Amino acid sequence: MSSMSLVRVLFSVTSFHSLLLLTSCQFYEENKLSPKRFLERIEEEGLAASPVSSDPHQELISVFQSHNPVGVYEVSGFVFALFDISNEKPFRNDDSNDSLSITQNTNLFMVGMGEPPILLASTLTSLQPRMGIKDLGLFVYPLGLCMILSLFVVAERTFSLRRGVTFPRRVEKALRIGEFPSKKWKKGSSAERIAWVATRENPSPESLRSYCALEISALEQGMFLLEVVIAGAPLVGLLGTVTGLVQVFSAMPAGSGQGIFSEGIAMALLTTIIGLAIAIPTLFMHSYLMRIIEKRAVSLNWLTTRLLDATGKNSRSSVLQVNAND
C-alpha cells in the first residue's frame, strides 16, 4: 500500500470517528434516575431502607397497569413500592386505593400508604439524573476535534517518517563504504531524491543545501497541528470548566443538596480533564516525532555534505559520473 493510499484510509477512519463523536450528543439517551442511586441517597441522608416482602402489600405493587415494582421497602415505618417506568406515562388501575400517595421524579415512582416522611419525599424529588456527554455543552466538539486531529497527525507522521521513506539503510550503508548513487537508488525516499538532484542536475552547493532543507521541512509537515492541540486542548477544557461553574452556581436552587452541587462541580471539571487527557499524550508523541525528525535531518545533512565533498574534489566526481551512468 502506497503512502497516499494509507493516508486516505487513515483520513476515512478518523472522519468516521469524528462523525460518530459529533452525532453521539444528538442521539444520546435521555438521562434517567437509577433506583440504586435513590436507595444509596436514602442511606446518605441517615435513613435505613429495608427490603420487605411484597405479598402483604399487593395494593402497592398493583397500582399501575402492566408495571411491576423494583422492590418494596420500609423506611421509618413507611412502606413503599419503588417503580422504574421510562418512555411512557403509567396508567393507574381504577380499583387502586385512593389513599395511596405517589411521589414521582423523572422515571422513578414511589407509591406508599399515606403521606411519606418529608425527608424521604424530598430525597426523591431532589435527586438529579447523572449528567452525560451532552451536558458538557459545545466545548465537547472542539475537544473531540482536537483528539481526532491529534490521532490523525500522529498516525500519518509515524508512517511518513519511517526509515524506508526518509533515509533507507541501503543509502546509509553505501555512504559508509564510499559508494554513491546508482540506478538502484530511485526517488522513493528523501535521501534518494537529494542524491538524484546532486548527480543529475549538477546544482550549486547552495542550491543542494536548499533542496536538503526543503526535504527536511517536509518531514515536519503537520507537526504544527500537534503544537496547536497541545496548547489549545487544555485551554478549551478550562474554558468549558469556567463556563460550567458559572452555570452550576447560577442554576443552583436554594436549599439544594450537597450531592447535586458536587456532581455539578465534577461535571464542570470534566472538560479540563478531557483537555489534559488529550494534550499530555499528544505532547509525548510530539516530542517522540520531533526526535525522529532531528535524527533524519542529521542523516540528510550528512548525505548532502558527502555529495558536496565528492563533487568538490573532482568537479564532476568520477565516482558520481560512473555510478550515475550505470
pLDDT, tens digit, 9 for 90 and up, residues 116-145? 888 888 888 888 766 666 666 788 889 889
The neighbouring-strand residues paired with 12 are: none
How many of the other CB atoms lie within 10 Å of CB of 306?
17
pLDDT digits (tens, 9 = 90+) for 164-189: 888 888 888 877 777 766 656 677 78
d(CA 211, CA 216): 9
- Of 148, 121, 192, nearest in space to 17 by CA: 148
C-alpha cell at 142: 472542539
Average pLDDT, the chain: 78
pTM over 0.85: no
> So what's the pLDDT on residue 235?
93
Domain range annotation of the chain? 3-25+133-324, 35-125
- Please name every residue paired with 110 in a beta bridge, in sequence order, or none if there are none: 82, 103
Average pLDDT for residues 25-40, to the nearest whole number?
69
Amino acid at 97: N
Question: What pLDDT, on a 0 to 100 scale, did the predictor assign at position 163?
Answer: 87
